[in-house]
Amino acid sequence: MLPFLLGRYMKRDDYYREFCEVFGHPLWILPMLMIGMAVFIETTHLGYHHNDMADADGYCGRKEWVRDLKRFKENNMY
């Protein structure tokens, strides 16, 4: 609990220990890392959408090796 809300004061070492227990716990770190990764990916993706010269959704389809695979698939399907 936050000590300043209760009117108690903690020593710096106790406050640091409690801080590390809460924010160092895997049940807090793992969801925050996943949320952070999702925010990073979405921010990057939306930033790419706002670029007029880029096509965020067709990025992989423009690569030469992907076009070669598509042509190979079309030519060799039976």
Over residues 14-70, the pLDDT tens digits come to 878 888 888 888 888 899 999 999 999 999 888 887 876 666 667 666 778 778 888
pLDDT at 6 over 60: no
Give CA–CA dist 26/77, Å, rounded: 49
CB-based contacts of 45, cutoff 8 Å, min separation 6 = 56
Residue for token pair 């895997």 = 26
Tokens at 69, concatenated: 């695979």
pTM: predicted TM-score of the whole model, two decimal places: 0.52
Cα dihedral across residues 71, 74, 77, 78: positive or negative: negative
